[in-house]
Chain A
Amino acid sequence: MMPYFQTATMKLVYHSTDELSAAAKLLASSMRALGAKKKVIVQVCDLGSSPLMYLQSRWFIPGLVEGASEIVGYRVICSEASPERVGVFVDAHRMLRPSLTIINHSISGLVRTLIDNINSRIIIAGDFDEVGGDAQLVYSSEWLCFAHKCESCGKFIPAGGSNVRYEGDNVIIENPAKARNGRYGGIKLDKGEYCNCS
């Protein structure tokens, strides 16, 4: 039995096994691009049914064979992205000294004033429907796909393995398994937001 998820826009969606598995690979690819590698510690602070959280490990989703942390081999600690729980997040950050820290945009301002680990790369993340282009890592909780910002041009790069579709002046980044299943939709960018560096 595969799980259902509420999205950032309060829709209840179902993701099939192959869609979840493909999404974990997409996340792994984005995580690699952001600097996650074998054995490093990654700290993620986000909301309940965010794919950025639940696709981190097979332990978080019934039936998921591998999460991004298992695919890449990094070690992960997840925290709740509420201002009230920031203290725990900050303590864990101080104790574990993660190399990469991913923080939900809603609490990023607060977190930045509290953490002192200059060696950790901090990435602001969020659901594209909520945050638009104001984050370095975006995802779609509805369509299970990911994109991150190019360090050179500051525009979005789809996670490796994404289905990329052009529609008028838009570029749509999709989960390949959903596309194979005939379910089309994803992170919809203006062409100007899309990285053309490569």
Chain B
Amino acid sequence: MNRFTLLMSGEYFDELEIWSRSRIEKYQLKRIRRLIEVAKRASNFYKTKFRDLNPDEVSSLKDFAEVVPLTSKKELISATSIGGDAVSDDDHIFFTTRGTTGETLIIPQKDEELEEYVWPAARGLWWAGLRPSMRVVMLSPAWHRLAACEAGAVGLIGAEAIYFWGSSSEKYVRNFLNTIRESKAQFLSITTPFLLTIFWKGQKRALEGVEKCITVGAPISPMARKRICEELGVGEIYERGGTQEGAAIDECRFHEAHHVHEDVCLLEVIRDDGYPAQAGEVGRLAVTRLYQGSIPIIRYLSGDLAVMFGETCGCGRELRRIELIDREDNAVVVGWKRILPYQIRQILDMDEEFCCRNFLLVKGGYGRLHIIVEGSVDTVRLKRLLEDQLDVEVMVESIGSIPIRFGYRPVIDRQLLENLQSR
């Protein structure tokens, strides 16, 4: 497991949080050199890809960004497919990840990798207010790498894990709320779509007594947080982020952006021309996992859009800050405009009636933006609101609840939607 001195005092979990920027980068650089060396030796994929790359020539993080090539999802899928070289006999657990495109990627995990990520998972939970002996209701640890790491993290902090029966679909809201009530949980770890489902399907003050909530899976706007806290009775909501491939980020109490857990990953934001984006400029996320693991992940373009923050956080930590905006694949093109679910979320959450509604954008909307909104809403008013804000033609559908069979994605292809609706 991670080798930092554990503090677990006040708001600090470990010594990494009080390291200077230069110390953090020195640590990362050492890890990166080692990672490249091992990747070249252990993987045919990287042996070929990095054939002209000498790890000793990477003398700074700037060098790393300049000389190490980016890796696409397609390359990684081909390297991990059966017959590829990345899945080894030592891989013990596999997790899956799936983007809007529907491409499933298998992420094999060695025990050591999971162990490494338990630490930052605990750090994030600590920032969000989890403390020893607290009771925390969690999603199943078996479905996702982050949830498995959270199980370990809860053990590391000395809190008490509680698991509800079911899956994160509307059908199981009752089970979930029953578990919260009976266990008198003080802390909640949940996905954003499920939290929004609970918001609309649960009763007022349904989460009364929950002091802190950490949510993952989709951005949650400040307006939505405020409303959920007020109406469901949650004390405070923190947002956590990450990818199965190794990005790990968490909010501190300032809630302005996510700090990167720079002991386990290096995150970059890349412009379309391949150069690093400036602070404040939206670009593509490149993930480098600082531990080798089953598949070395080096400058991997995860398909996320992100923005890096330049200035230091009010909390004083020098860990870099980033915001994951959306997935590239989620962009819906209407005429000449690319519209992201993130934009829709912001617009909906500014309005009391539409705030916190789950929604789905339909790709292939024949020249207009097709949006399906959960619950009974004034579709005429919503259409007008979106058209005013986005300056495109909009078609709004309102349905009782968005069947989870449409996926956890905020975007769906028209063809797939029609197939699912006909089942």
Asked if A and B bind, the verdict is yes
Please determine whether A82 and B169 come into contact, CB atoms closer than 8 angstroms: yes
Q: Check A83 against B405 for contact (C-beta < 8 Å).
A: yes
Instruction: Of the listed stretches A50-58, A144-152, A162-170, name the one at the interface; the rest are far from the partner chain.
Output: A50-58
Chain B 165-194: CB-based contact to A (< 8 A → 1; otherwise 0): 111110110010011001100000000000
Contacts of B333 in A (CB 8 A): none
- In the complex, how many angstroms separate the beta carbon of B137 from the nearest chain A beta carbon? 9
Contacts of B155 in A (CB 8 A): 1, 62-63
Q: Mark A54-68, 1 if CB is under 8 A from B, else 0.
A: 101101111100000
- Which residues 5-50 of A have a CB within 8 angstroms of B? 5-8, 10, 12, 39, 41, 44, 47-50
Which residue in B94, B98, B175, B406 is a CB contact (below 8 Å) of A75?
B94
Size bracket, chain A contacts: 35 or more
Q: How many residues of B contact A (CB 8 A)?
A: 53
Measured between beta carbons, the chain B residues less than 8 angstroms from A95 are 81-82, 104, 106
Of all chain B residues, the one with the shortest Cβ separation from A83 is B405
CB of B102 within 8 Å of the partner chain: yes
Most buried by A among B81, B151, B168, B404: B151
A54 to B141, Cβ gap below 8 A?
Answer: yes
Chain A contacts for B154, CB-based, 8 A: 1, 62
In the bound complex, CA of A118 to CA of B346 (Å): 48
In the assembled complex, B142 has its CB within 8 A of some CB on chain A: yes
B179 touches A75 (CB 8 A): no
A-B contact pairs, 22 of them (CB 8 A): A5-B163, A6-B162, A10-B175, A41-B94, A47-B166, A48-B163, A49-B140, A54-B141, A54-B163, A57-B142, A62-B151, A75-B92, A75-B93, A78-B142, A78-B143, A84-B404, A87-B98, A91-B104, A92-B106, A95-B82, A95-B104, A96-B106
Report the 4 A-B pairs with minimum CB-CB distance, sorted nearest first: A62-B155, A91-B104, A49-B163, A78-B142
> A interface vs B, CB < 8 Å?
1-8, 10, 12, 39, 41, 44, 47-50, 53-54, 56-57, 59-63, 69-70, 75-85, 87-88, 91-92, 95-97, 141
